[in-house]
Amino acid sequence: MRDKDTTPVVPADEEGIARAAAILEAGGLVAVPTETVYGLAARADSAEAVARIYAAKGRPDFNPLIVHVRDVEQAALYGDFSDPVLSDIAQVMWPGPLTLVVERRADAALAEAVTAGLPTVALRAPAHPVMRALLEAVDFPLAAPSANRSGFISPTSAEHVLASLDGRIDLVLDAGPTEAGVESTILRIGPDDAWHELRPGPVDVAALYRDYHDREMPVGQAPAGITAPGQLASHYAPGKPVRLDAAQAEADEFLIGFGPVTGDVTLSASGDVTEAAARLYHCLHEAARSDRPRIAVAPVPDRGVGRAVNDRLRRAATPPD
């Protein structure tokens, strides 16, 4: 049973979207489905609204937020898209699960806390029809991190959002489980036209690089200052020890299976990495609330979006400081 003074959850229909737009207008916080995970949205042009995101999540203030926009035209109000390759990638890949980190425009009407003092800004035009309708309904961009307490498992359903933010935010728009299941790929191009994949995700950066350059993407370390500050070693933590590459469970372990390894739940019985990405956080949430004190996870191949799954699993398995 939920208490009376908890966060309302409403269907993401026309009425729900209008209610969400009014709350955002007034500087409030709304959890909104995107094609990757549920985001915790606030107007990106208001210092007070953005401060509420950091407070609700308990997020360190050195960790900047992604700014969600309708399209590259709106993005160009906040970031520098004068590089033709960059603007072409935005045209071709948006709307979709790709975040581009670009130079922040000097005249960008964004709260300072959105970019956490960096000279760059992370922008993305999401594909989910509900998030798109919301961005059409308001005349400001939306800052939106994943809708979970900082460091914990990301949400792919309205229920997951409530599991960590109930009572701390103004509204949840419910449109069922999200499709991709892992957060957007983050790409930084530059300086010197070098490409840096700051976070693996649904969009394959190496394949995109081949499309533009007709050769393999050079592997190299991103120079200092060109990392995503939020990519902390410990993240997505279910609050219990996690053992990776497990072929079977020990007595006190909840096993998350994949392919031939059948567990208490499975990422994908057929061994499909795309399905594994879509089910990853659901399985981690199930493991977190089971009565077993430890979690084991079957190996997942490191190809395609399986790289993003393994990236998140490694962080989930790293104990917090």
Site string for ligand TXA, 145-164 (x = CB under 6 A): xx------------------
198 binds, among ligand TXA, Mg ion, none (CB under 5 to 8 A by kind): ligand TXA
The Cα-based distances of 304 to 1, 39, 117, 274 in angstroms read: 41, 24, 33, 8
Shortest gap between Cβ of 272 and Mg ion (angstroms)? 24
Contact window for ligand TXA (CB under 6 A) among 7-15, 20-28, 33-41, 163-171? 33-41
Instruction: Tell whether residue 164 is a contact of Mg ion (CB under 5 A).
Output: no
The strand pairing partners of 195, in sequence order, are 189
Q: Rounded CA gap, 166 and 145, in Å?
A: 16
Closest-by-Cβ residue to ligand TXA is 230
Number of Cβ atoms within 10 Å of the Cβ of 192: 6
Instruction: Tell whether residue 197 is a contact of ligand TXA (CB under 6 A).
Output: no
Amino acid at 8: P
Contact window for ligand TXA (CB under 6 A) among 78-86, 223-231, 247-255, 279-287? 223-231
Tokens of 113: 């806390």
Shortest gap between Cβ of 172 and ligand TXA (angstroms)? 13
Shortest gap between Cβ of 143 and ligand TXA (angstroms)? 9
155 binds, among Mg ion, ligand TXA, none (CB under 5 to 8 A by kind): none
Residues 132-161 within binding reach of Mg ion (CB under 5 A): 146
Binds ligand TXA by CB under 6 A, chosen from 16, 95, 141, 230: 230
Residues in touch with ligand TXA (CB under 6 A): 34, 36-37, 39, 63-66, 97, 99, 101, 115, 118, 120-122, 126, 144-146, 183-184, 186, 198, 228-231
